[in-house]
Amino acid sequence: MRAVIVNGFGGPEVLEVVETAVPEPAAGQLRVRVTATAVNPVDTAVRAGIFGGAGQPVGFGWDVAGEVDAVGAEVTGFAAGDRVVGLHYGAVKPLGAHAEYVVLDAAAAAAAPASVDDVRASVLPLSGLTAARAVAQLGLPAGSSVLVTGAAGVVGGLAVQLAARAGLVVTALAGAGDEELVRSLGAAHFVPRDGEPDPVDGVLDTAVLGERALGYVKDGGVYVGVHPGAAPAAVRGIRVEEQEVAADGAHLAELAGLVDAGVLDLRVARTYPLDAAAEAHAEQSKGGVRGRLVLVP
């Protein structure tokens, strides 16, 4: 099978598409024929060597959408031919989801949302789980005010939708041209990226603004970051938390249900063949992409 790897870190040009053996599922695992796999900011960080792994081949890709190809022993609830989505967790791994086949723990997979195709479904695992866990960590009651930074991005946009569904009054901080988009996702208020929001009960900081975002939280409020290790120090009695995603098939199934119910919109900017992974990485690195870039093996 073909898979995207690097043997040394750097820019998009270091990516290689290589031929390698099709992986075999162990007990409790599924083998999935990948039909679509999203490119995320974490992939560009892995390529740059931020997570380490020097001296060994490193694979790419966390998001899986496709068809179950084989099941290992002790797997229940899945059968060959099932459409699934899943999270292939881990920054440094020999093979990732940017491949023609991937092996996942069955507990990391869920039935794919029936209302969207595999390209759109591939956006859900990493971004959806990240946004959902971050909104839950806010721990705010309905009617509370929350600021979502980076609200026009994929994680930020999903956070806006989930926070609004939870009854939170959302202010979206995004680019000047993104007001219509973020309001369509459920934001009650909009502030341009260089503006100054009113104080809020909580901030969900997908743009990693750090101390600037913390400054918008009321005394005794809450700040939730989505990049582990990047949160600012707590001040003024503010509870500071960081979200770290985990492979959770049960939670992913709930999110797939919200997609089918029309609650969550999965945005795709464009697709690329697997052989054009370097081109997709280059586009991702430019920033400002409104929707995920998706590889189609």
pLDDT at 287 > cutoff 90: no
Residue 289 is predicted with a pLDDT of 87
pLDDT at 222 > cutoff 90: yes
Residue 172 is predicted with a pLDDT of 98
CA–CA dist 205, 203 (Å, integer): 6
Question: Mean per-residue pLDDT for 48-65?
Answer: 94
Residue 286 is predicted with a pLDDT of 87
Average pLDDT, the chain: 96
Residue 149 is predicted with a pLDDT of 98
Q: At what angle do helices 124-138 and 154-165 cross, to 10 degrees?
A: 50
CA–CA dist 64, 103 (Å, integer): 10
HSE, CB side, 13 Å, CA atoms: give it for residue 21: 4
Residue 23 is predicted with a pLDDT of 97
Q: At what angle do helices 249-260 and 124-138 cross, to 10 degrees?
A: 100
CATH 3.90.180.10 region(s) of the chain?
2-123+266-296
Question: Mean per-residue pLDDT for 4-26?
Answer: 96
pLDDT at 251 > cutoff 90: yes
CA–CA dist 188, 171 (Å, integer): 6
Q: Under CATH, to which class is 2-123+266-296 assigned?
A: alpha beta
Residue 197 is predicted with a pLDDT of 97
Whether domain 127-242 has CATH 3.50.50.60: no
Residue 36 is predicted with a pLDDT of 98
Tell me the pLDDT tens digit for each residue of 181-190.
999 999 999 9
Share of the chain above pLDDT 90, in %: 96
Q: What's the count of helices (H) and strands (E) in the chain, helices before strands?
A: 8, 16
CATH 3.40.50.720 region(s) of the chain?
127-242
By DSSP bridging, strand 101-105 and strand 217-225 are unpaired
Tell me the pLDDT tens digit for each residue of 152-170.
999 999 999 999 999 999 9
Contact 138, 202 (CB under 8 A): yes
